[in-house]
Structures are given as structure tokens and as C-alpha cells.
Structure 1
Amino acid sequence: MLYFNLIRFSFILKVVKMRSTAVCRALSKALQRHVSTAAVSLSNELIDALKNEITAEKQLEKENLRGEQAPRISGFEITTDGANVHLAKLHGVPLALPSLTIEIIKAQQRLCFYLDLFFPDAFSVLIAVDFRVAEFYIAPASKGTEDEDVPESVYSSSGKYIDPTLHDLLFNHYLAERGFDQKFCREVVDFATHYEHSQYVKLLTDIKSFVSK
């Protein structure tokens, strides 16, 4: 009698276990369907938001940034690669490479200036742009790559402490002869504003494409 009870008890356990497994599978499938539906809904909402933002940014570009074509910078050749913008100008033999850093190259050396752009008058931000030299130094010329690091042994000085006469000759007249003046700064700001905006629109477009896959 005990033997049959054990068999029956074992059978009941198996039935309960099978039912429990079936319930878990059903719940798992229902949860997967819910998560999948929610993910699709969120993706569609995100795609719609990105579309609206891209449309708005392109309208802003059309109304305030003079169209899709970025403005030019007089006398400079512009090369872009994503977030990198490279400007080059030939002045006699030396090659000036302005970006955040100006490098004037002669033979095996380069005279380098780190520039900070600023607005001289807070009320004329749409007109006047100027620069101050934050740092300057002489370094060996790059060997093959323009972004080559400057050796740690190179001494640099702050532009704040230079003699006023030398400041005027080196930072103003010397750079102005090579095209680095207020007009150049204004054109850089115009170009950078337009180019940064176009890169932002491209980023939104790439995100929309990624989410849509």
C-alpha cells in the first residue's frame, strides 16, 4: 500500500513540475512579446523625434546659416574630416597651418602659437572677433604627420608676459602678414559655426539610421 502511495505521490510531483514549467514558458513568451513591443514603440518614438529635430536643424541652417555650403575663409585651403578642420595657407616658402594652433614652418623648425579667440566687445559679437596668444614656442618640424606631438623638452612661454613692443611685432604684425588677423578670426568663427552645425545634423541622421536598423 505504501509503495503505491509513493508512486502516486511521485506522479503528482511530476505533473505539478510539468505544469510549473509550462506556466514559466508561457510567462516568458508573454514577457518577451511585451518587451519586444515596448522596444519597437520606443524606437519608433525616438526615430520620429530625430526626424523632427533634423528637420528643425536644417530649417535653422537654411534661415540663419546661409544654406548647406559652409562659408569660405579667404586665402586658405580647407580640409575637413569629421570633427577635425584643417586650414592651410602658403606664404612664400613657409607653410602656415592654422587651427587651435598656428604653425609657421621653415626648414626643420616650426614657430607655434596657441590662440584663444574672443569677442573684444560683448555688444559686437556678430562683427568683431580677435585672438590672444596663450602660448608660443619653437619646435622641430613634424616628420610625416601634421598632428605629431611636440617633444616634452621643448620650452614654451605664455603670451601674457611678453614685452609690449615684441608682443605687437610678433603677435600682431608678424601674424597679420601671414593672414592671421581679425578678418581671419571672423571667417574662422563663421566657418566653425556652420561646420559644427552640419556635423550635429549628421550625428542626428546617423543615430536615426542606427535606431532604424
Structure 2
Amino acid sequence: MLDVDKSEITLTNKVGNEEIIISANVNHSVDGGGGDGDPSMEKETPGGIRAKPNFDVEVKKGNQTLVFSCSFLPNEMEGGQEDFEDVFVIGEVSLFDGEAKKTDYAIAGDILDEYLYDLFMNFLEDRGISNEFISKFSELCTNYEHYLYIELMVNLQKFLKEEV
């Protein structure tokens, strides 16, 4: 299910006893384009820009929630190394009961054991959060950000034309 609230995009899916929620904010999420990145991420986009927002993947089971805070790799790193094929990285992982609190512990993705990090990436892929899916999610965010940009320009024009 897709839900939007101003600049927020939320995708929700239920798989077995898990609810998977992907959320992102498209504000400040566009890059300048350029041709240095992963070819799968470089489809023609409005104005040559691509939205690559930070995003959270929540996996809820009962009262517990496992959260992966993720971000897209910079263009120069995407596909740049043979053994580095991911288009996104896990920046942080947390697990909590009930609602999230500021005091819940979260571990940075870059200090995770490499084996555990790979297990987490496989865990996400097993739930459909693959490089291909995230590339399509970026495309969705790009189109939605472009829609919001046009809406803002139209509203600015109306605002500026109104007499005081």
C-alpha cells in the first residue's frame, strides 16, 4: 500500500506475521544527475535529477520492531567495485518493543561485523528489499518529488500574483 503525506512517502506490505514499512521524506533528496552512477539508476528523469532520500525499513512482528535506517550510495560508489554491488547501505539498526523512544539503542551500520551486515542485507532482500526494488523506489520518489516541485511552482506563482 502506498501512502503520501506532503513530502513523506510510505509503502506498507504484510507478509505472513510481519508488517514491512518503508518510509522516506523527499525533501532535499535530489542529486544533480551526471553519468557516473549505476546505469540501472540513470533512466531519464525530469531535469536529469534523481531523488535518493534516506529511508527506513521497519519490520514489525507482534510488539517488536526492527528498524534499518538506510541511504543510497553516492553516485561515484555505485557499481564502482566488482564486489560492491549494492545501491544502498544500512546506516543504523535498532530493535525495540512498542513505540520507538529516543533512548532505544541503535548501532551504526559501519561498525557492524561484516558477516552480520551481510545477513541483514540478505534479511532485507528476503523481504523484497532488493537493489532492484530500491532503484524503483528511487524512481517513485523522483516522480513524486517532481510532482511536489511543480505544485510548489504553481502555488508560488499564484501567491506572487495576488495583490496585497
The TM-score normalised by the length of structure 2 is: 0.69
Whether the aligned pair in 1 keeps the contact of 2:13 and 2:20 (CA below 8 Å) is yes
Measured against aligned partners, the alpha-carbon deviations of 1:6-34 in whole angstroms (never above 9, x if no partner) come to xxxxxxxxxxxxxxxxxxxxxxxxxxxxx
Residue 155 of structure 1: how far off its partner (Å): 1.0
User: Number of aligned pairs?
Assistant: 127
Residue 136 of structure 1: how far off its partner (Å): 0.4
CA RMSD, Structure 1 to Structure 2 (Å):
2.2
Measured against aligned partners, the alpha-carbon deviations of 1:109-165 in whole angstroms (never above 9, x if no partner) come to 10011001125766869xx861111110111233xxxxxxx3132111111122222
Pairing 1:50-129 to 2, within 5 Å after superposition = 77-99=1-23, 100-118=55-73
Flag structure 2 segments of 5+ consecutive residues without an equivalent: 24-54
Whether the aligned pair in 1 keeps the contact of 2:78 and 2:87 (CA below 8 Å) is no
Q: Which has the higher helix share?
A: 1
The range that moved more, 101-110 or 129-138, is: 129-138
Q: What is the aligned counterpart of 1:194 among 134, 143, 156?
A: 143
Are residue 159 (structure 1) and residue 159 (structure 2) matched?
no
Whether the aligned pair in 2 keeps the contact of 1:87 and 1:98 (CA below 8 Å) is yes
Label 1:165 to 1:120 Cα distance change in 2 as closer, same or farther (>3 A): farther
SS of the residue corresponding to residue 60 of structure 2 reads strand
Q: Extract structure 1 runs of 4+ deviating beyond 3 A.
A: 119-125
Q: What's 1:176 paired with?
A: 125
Identical columns (%): 22
Q: What's 1:131 paired with?
A: 88
Label 1:155 to 1:173 Cα distance change in 2 as closer, same or farther (>3 A): same
Residue 93 of structure 1: how far off its partner (Å): 1.5
Which one-letter code corresponds to 1:93 in the other structure? N
Which one-letter code corresponds to 2:108 in the other structure? S
Flag structure 1 segments of 5+ consecutive residues without an equivalent: 1-76, 143-149
Task: Give the Cα separation in 2 of the matches to 1:154 and 1:116.
Answer: 21
Task: Give the Cα separation in 1 of the matches to 2:78 and 2:62.
Answer: 43
Whether the aligned pair in 2 keeps the contact of 1:105 and 1:141 (CA below 8 Å) is no
Residue 209 of structure 1: how far off its partner (Å): 1.8
SS of the residue corresponding to residue 186 of structure 1 reads helix
SS of the residue corresponding to residue 179 of structure 1 reads coil
Are residue 204 (structure 1) and residue 153 (structure 2) matched?
yes
